């Protein structure tokens, strides 16, 4: 079995039909595999910290993953890609990008898929994933819309794009179902959570964070 044949039996190969009604091409499946690798782990993100706390208490691996999923579903974490999908869907053609971005700014809403607490000058994971999407779908109208959004956001000097925007672009170009980016994120990060859990199991001590009181004086 060569590498191309093995890919169809991989996690990406089994995940694809749950996300997209169109058959995968070897190229699109390779991009999905890359996305899963890029998203597998990222320091102590909120969901990873929660998963490590659960593992330190000797919760079983299923409970560890459920803990991570509970956090990753929030709109500020794994759910952020869904909002990026919504934004991109509003840009029905590249020419609408300035108006759509202006509407989000006027409402005082954060532009989904842009900005990151760690990467102030752009998320390298997002850059790589967008480049891979461009390779498999050059000239695609959804890719053109994404580039138009990028251009307008940069013109306004707003925060740079992150991996959530790249996931939304990938989902749009391939015709995936709504919320596919969040599913890809969760499946990928499960591997990371379990790796962190194994470290906590080996330590054998409870992860106990401390808190400092910052309220009004007592007494």
pLDDT at 6: 59
92 three-state secondary structure: coil
Q: Catalytic residue numbers?
A: 116, 164
Whether 110 and 133 have beta carbons less than 8 Å apart is answered as no
- Residue 216: inside a domain: no
Number of domains in the chain: 1
CATH number at residue 139: 1.10.230.10
In this structure, is residue 102 part of a structural domain? yes
Domain limits for position 151:
25-200
pLDDT for the residue 2 = 52
Any domain includes 215: no
Contact 163, 36 (CB under 8 A): no
Is 68 part of a structural domain of the chain? yes
CA atoms of 145 and 217, how far apart (whole Å): 54
Determine, yes or no, domain membership for 71: yes
Contacts of 170 (CB under 8 A, 6+ apart): 31, 32, 35, 129, 133, 176, 181
- Residue 8 domain-assigned (yes or no): no
Q: Which of 135, 129, 138, 116 is nearest to 168 (CA)?
A: 129
For the whole model, what pTM was predicted? 0.88
Q: Is residue 219 in some structural domain? A: no
Residue 37 placed within a domain: yes
What is the mean pLDDT, run by run of 10 residues, along the chain of 219 residues?
Answer: 63 95 94 96 91 96 96 81 92 95 93 85 91 95 96 94 94 95 94 96 89 85
């Amino acid at each position: 079995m060569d590498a191309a044949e093995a890919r169809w039996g991989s996690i990406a190969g089994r995940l694809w039909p749950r996300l997209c009604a169109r058959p995968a091409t070897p190229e699109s499946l390779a991009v999905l595999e890359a996305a899963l690798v890029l998203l597998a782990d990222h320091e102590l993100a909120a969901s990873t910290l929660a998963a490590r706390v659960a593992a330190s208490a000797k919760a079983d691996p299923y409970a560890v993953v459920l803990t991570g999923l509970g956090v990753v579903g929030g709109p500020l974490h794994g759910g952020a890609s869904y909002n990026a999908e919504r934004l991109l869907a509003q840009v029905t053609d590249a020419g609408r990008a300035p108006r759509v971005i202006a509407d989000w700014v006027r409402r005082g809403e954060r532009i989904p898929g842009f900005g990151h607490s760690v990467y102030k000058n752009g998320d390298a994971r997002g850059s790589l994933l967008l480049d891979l999407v461009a390779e498999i779908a050059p000239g695609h109208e959804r890719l053109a819309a994404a580039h138009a959004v990028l251009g307008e956001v940069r013109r306004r000097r707003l925060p740079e794009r992150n991996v959530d925007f790249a996931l939304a672009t990938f989902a749009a170009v391939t015709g995936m179902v709504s919320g596919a980016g969040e599913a890809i994120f969760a499946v990928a990060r499960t591997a990371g959570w379990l790796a962190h859990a194994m470290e906590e199991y080996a330590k054998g001590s409870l992860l106990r964070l401390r808190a400092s009181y910052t309220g009004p004086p007592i007494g």
